[in-house]
Chains A and B, each alone.
Chain A
């Protein structure tokens, strides 16, 4: 008996609980994207249906129809039209939601036309009673020509039935449920005659949008004599939509019954408060403030714990392993490197936790509604709020989240300014510098000064993003037809399982994606810091011993001096020294210079670099990195290196500088031009330098 593997595609409108169904089917057996910052393009999960049948479940981005109006939606069509794709579905599961069945069915009737076996899931049936809804399933199954499965992903109802339905997908008819081509018989007949081997609806999709599919190229279609003008095609698309809705309305007249006297009005009451002109903004601000305060407050204890555990682990390693270069690499390169990554798990976890709760609950759409008018003054859309907020996690998924902004100019501006918001990679840098230069005191008894500084940095990031958007809006000369449609989903209590899966997934992506890079860079850095090109490096012991012959120094002090001298003469020391003239006006020494060089590719490397440099430079292993940085003194000015002025200057530098190769790559991909990422790089980095310079010169 052979094992059978089938591909199942999950498709549905946004907010139908499609991802919940996906999570229920696959649990944690999911594979997501290929970016360190998690792509949203395609999610594939695995599910055992029967003892000899396994399924690859593909979770496609939410879409309202097969007429793609955004980049996100064209992902769906491209997969469905390409029979050669190795994920091409054997069976499609359309996920709909009981309260919005009418609208959800539009997509269903289009999918049915593709002649692929299709199952209809009606989700959230636990709300039917509350809303006074009843369904005539046999009637619907007959008219929609499908198998219907009633599911409540929240209550875990119907998942087993869905698995059975998927297993027996071959029994489902591939017949369409309405004849869409009757909108223009002559036209479609010509099409049918010219391409007798193609599915008519597929042809129609290729004609009306910017997609190709394997065995049929757009170009060959365009050259034919029966081409229609854009406006004619659009008219036909509208006719098609109207026809489909007529069919759906007719079917639901019998199939669906809503007793509106039962429906409760919780939603409109909450809407009134959350979109109120005073309360709405106040609540939004309080939520943001609460998030940032708690990120800093709650993660303090686990962060300190991780930090000190790794310090003692490093000591234990160097004491218990045989002395030599590899032991040093482990104790001074690898262990502090890993510690530097793991230390930020608590903060990143909390951030993603809050963001996914806001998205799941339906609150995010209210924010879009509330902010649209204001954002438009700056050339952005209300929908830019979502990328700007999720940009606080990572700019990469945030830039991808701009795909649902319909207006190209608004979308471009959002892409360009999103990297200015404070992403989680900046958090480690901020956390360590704030810890060093801002006192851990409370203002008015409740507001932690360090938390407040962090909040301020986030606000500066947002402020700069908005300001740049305003300037870009004036400078860029693009004329776009503007339109804006946003769905306002019903409020839902976020599902624990969904939130947890998102949090685990994103944290994992940070640890294994960004973490691997950080670790590899720490290894290289350690090597550069423990080797040097000149004689001075090799003879460090003799040079220092002869210099300090007359002074009375303890053994530890001499060892420290040797180590510091070695570091200065190492490869990395020489690199740092080379750029020191450029950065000393900003208040940095060559060690910080090294960290800035190494964090050019990814800013979170900054802390790992400092950890490596300060581990190599000291012999007292049980001290934490943070304490070492605190005690670091500039030999020329006799002042602490990390003082208030240089700290603020560093914070501002990291707030504005473009130090993330992955973000540049995503900008390139989403704008399809090198012009925009290069602009980001040059503009942001030079601006960062100037601001940091001014700040240090004013504060020192």
Chain B
């Protein structure tokens, strides 16, 4: 099974892999969510959604169904 942002644990960091550009809104790309950039899951809202991320230095929140579309490689410490 592929790993996505939705699978990350709180505090975990990962590198964004290639994703299907048609599904991801352009705005997210413009905020720095691009292949090769690092992403860290900072907080999970009550009831498990949305997710609060640090992407490439930008702090933003996205819904879990968007997060499921963004494949990542975990950085193992």
Contact = CB atoms under 8 A, between A and B. Distances in A.
A–B direct contact (CB < 8 Å) = yes
A99 B59 CA distance: 11
B4 interface: no
B63 interface: yes
B46 A280 contact: yes
Interface string B26-58: 111111101100000011011111101000111
A546 to B, nearest CB: 75
Given A271-B42, A275-B52, A374-B47, A487 B60 contact: yes
B26 A241 contact: yes
Contacts of B31: 64, 103, 485, 487
Contact of B27 (A277, A373, A485): A485
A64 B28 CA distance: 10
A406 B52 contact: no
A106 B33 CA distance: 13
Contact of B61 (A65, A100, A238, A486): A486
A370 B27 contact: no
A76 to B, nearest CB: 14
A485 B61 contact: yes
Contacts of A485: 25, 27-28, 31, 60-62, 66
Interface in B7-36: 21-22, 25-32, 34-35
Contacts of B52: 271, 275, 369, 488
A643 interface: no
Interface string A376-410: 00000010000000000000000000000010000
Nearest to A374: B47
Contacts of B65: 482
A490 B59 CA distance: 8
A468 interface: no
Interface stretch (A112-120, A229-237, A612-620, A647-655): A229-237
Contacts of A231: 22
Interface string A178-206: 00000000000000000000000000000
Contact of A382 (B27, B50, B59): B50
A365 B30 CA distance: 19
A265 B27 CA distance: 27
Contacts of A281: 46
A69 interface: yes
Contact of A103 (B25, B26, B56): B56
A508 interface: no
Given A102-B56, A241-B29, A245-B34, A372 B45 contact: yes
B42 to A, nearest CB: 7
Contacts of A482: 63, 65
A272 B48 CA distance: 14
Nearest to B47: A373
B26 A373 contact: no
Contact of A241 (B30, B42, B48): B30
Contacts of B30: 64-65, 67, 103, 106, 241
A103 B50 contact: no
- Name B's interface SS: mixed
A275 B43 contact: yes
Nearest to A15: B59
A326 interface: no
Contact of B32 (A103, A268, A406, A484): A103
Given A103-B57, A271-B52, A234 B21 contact: yes
A99 B56 CA distance: 11
A67 to B, nearest CB: 6
B47 A245 contact: no
Nearest to B51: A369
A287 B60 CA distance: 24
Contacts of A103: 30-32, 56-58
Contacts of B27: 64-65, 67, 69, 406, 483, 485
Contacts of A486: 50, 60-62
Contacts of B22: 231, 234
B76 to A, nearest CB: 20
Interface in A336-375: 365, 368-370, 372-374
A489 interface: yes
Interface in A275-296: 275-277, 280-281
A135 interface: no
A242 interface: yes
Given A67-B30, A231-B22, A484 B43 contact: no
Given A271-B42, A275-B45, A487 B58 contact: yes
A69 B25 contact: yes
A488 B45 contact: no
A372 B26 contact: no
A327 B56 CA distance: 70
A482 B49 CA distance: 14
B63 A483 contact: yes
Contact of B59 (A237, A277, A373, A487): A487
Contacts of A483: 25, 27-28, 62-63, 66
Interface centre among B27, B28, B52 (most CB of A within 10 A): B27
25 contacts: A64-B31, A102-B57, A103-B31, A103-B58, A234-B21, A235-B21, A237-B26, A238-B26, A241-B26, A241-B29, A365-B61, A369-B50, A369-B52, A372-B45, A372-B50, A372-B61, A373-B45, A483-B27, A483-B62, A485-B61, A485-B66, A486-B60, A487-B58, A488-B59, A490-B59
Interface of B: 21-22, 25-32, 34-35, 42-43, 45-50, 52, 56-63, 65-66
Q: Which 7 A-B pairs have the closest CB atoms?
A: A277-B46, A488-B59, A373-B47, A483-B25, A65-B30, A484-B63, A486-B61
Given A277-B46, A486-B61, 15 more contacts: A64-B27, A67-B26, A99-B57, A237-B26, A238-B29, A271-B42, A370-B46, A373-B48, A373-B49, A406-B27, A483-B62, A484-B62, A485-B31, A488-B59, A488-B61
